[in-house]
Amino acid sequence: MFTLGEETLAIRDMARDFASERLAPHAVEWDEKKHFPVTEMREGAALGMGGIYVKEDVGGSGLTRLDAAVIFEALATGCPTVSAYMSIHNMCAWMVDKFANDDQRHAWLPALVSMEKCASYCLTEPGAGSDAAALSTRAERSGNHFVLNGQKQFISGAGNADDFYVVMARTGGPGPKGISTFVVEGGTPGLSFGANEKKMGWNAQPTRAVIFDNCRVPAANMIGNEGDGFKIAMAGLDGGRLNISACSVGGAQAALDKALSYANERMAFGKKLNEFQALQFRLADLAIELEAARLYLYAAAASYDRNDPDRTQKIAGAKRFVTDTGFNVANGALQILGGYGYLSEYGIEKIVRDLRVHQILEGTNEIMRLIVARALVAAS
C-alpha cells in the first residue's frame, strides 16, 4: 500500500475543499459558457497552487511532485478542465524556475506563482505534433533581440489578457539541437492568436493558435543556453505527464462518486440499483481499476522525486495506463446512470469529454508506448 504522509494528506484535504466549494458548483456552467475562471484560479494560487513545485525564494510552495499529483487529482474532482490548465501553468512556472537565471526567476515567477499572469506552453505546431523536434517556428538574432516567425497550435490558455508564453523556437539547424526556449509576454508586438477552438471538452479553458509575425523578443528572454530548448521542453513534459494523469484520476473519481450516489437512490424492479449483484460487480471493477491507476501514478511521481534513472519510462507508462483507465472509468460510470448520464445537468458527460483529450496531450499514448518499448529493448 502506498501511504501518504500527514502533510500531504492535509494538502490534499485543502485542495479537495477548494475544489468542492469553488470549482464543482460552477463546472457545468463554465463548460457551457466557455468561461475561463481566472478569478477562481487566482484564489487557488493564493493557497499555494500557482507554483506548487517552484522554489520558495520567489513565492513558490516548494512541494514535491507527489504532492503536486495529489493536488491536481483533488482539483480535478471539482473540474478536470480547470485542474488541467493549472497543471500546465505549473509546468511552465517550473521550467522558468529550473532553467532561467536568477534575474529572470525573480522578474517573472512572482507573477506566475500568484497567477497574476497565466502561462502557456508553446511547443506543438500545425506540422509538428508528436514529432516535436521537427518544429519550424524560427527565431533569428537581430541585435539585442530575436525575431520570431511561425505558429503554434492547440495552445491551452492562449489569448488571455494577462498571458505569458514559454515558446520553443528554432535558432539553429534541423533537429533537437537547433531549438531554444524563449519567454514571450502578452502584448508583445507581432504576437497574435487564432480563434478559440471549438472542442469536444476542456471548454472552460481557451485553446488557440499562437502566431508570431516578426515578433521581437529581447535576447534576455531566452531561457537557458541557445540550443537547450528541446531538452528544456522534454524536461517539462515528464512532470506534465504526471500532472495530466492526476487530473484523469480526479475526474474519474468524481464520475464514480456520481455513479455510486445514483445507484444508491435509483429504484428499478422494486430494488435500489446498488442491490443488483451485476451492478455491484461493475462498480467494484471501476473502483479497482481506478485505485490501480492512482497507485501507478503515485509510484511514478515518487520515482520523479527520487530522480530515478528510469523515471521517464515509469512516467510514460503511468501516463498511458492512468489516462486510458481514467477515461474508461468515467465512461463506465456514465453507463450506470443510463440516459441520465448522457444529460449535461448531471455533470458526468462533461467529465467523459474532458478526460478524452488526456490520452492525446503531453505526448499521445502511442508515444508513451514507444518510450516504454525503447527502454525495454535498450535494457534487453
**Which of these is catalytic: 185, 349, 362, 366?**
362
In angstroms, rounded to a whole number, what is the distance separating the alpha carbons of residues 161 and 159?
6
In angstroms, rounded to a whole number, what is the distance separating the alpha carbons of residues 130 and 297?
22
- Assigned architecture for domain 230-379: Up-down Bundle (1.20)
What pLDDT is attached to residue 128? 79
Q: CATH code for 119-225?
A: 2.40.110.10
Is 362 one of the annotated active-site residues of the chain? yes
Instruction: Please say whether the beta carbons of 315 and 368 come within 8 A.
Output: no
Alpha helices (H) in 266-340, listed in sequence order = 277-306, 311-337
What pLDDT is attached to residue 165? 97
What pLDDT is attached to residue 217? 97
- In CATH terms, are 6-116 and 119-225 the same topology? no
Among 162, 165, 207, CA closest to 34: 207
What pLDDT is attached to residue 275? 85
What pLDDT is attached to residue 130? 77
| Four-way CATH pick for 6-116: 1.25.40.340, 1.10.540.10, 3.90.1150.10, 3.40.1160.10 | 1.10.540.10
What are the tens digits of pLDDT across the range 109-126? 999 999 999 999 999 999
In angstroms, rounded to a whole number, what is the distance separating the alpha carbons of residues 298 and 12?
13
Residues of the chain with pLDDT under 50: none
User: Whats the size of the chain, residue-wise?
Assistant: 380
Q: Enter the C-alpha cell of residue 118.
A: 497565466
What pLDDT is attached to residue 293? 98
Question: For the chain, what are the domain ranges?
Answer: 6-116, 119-225, 230-379
Instruction: Please say whether the beta carbons of 36 and 205 come within 8 A.
Output: yes
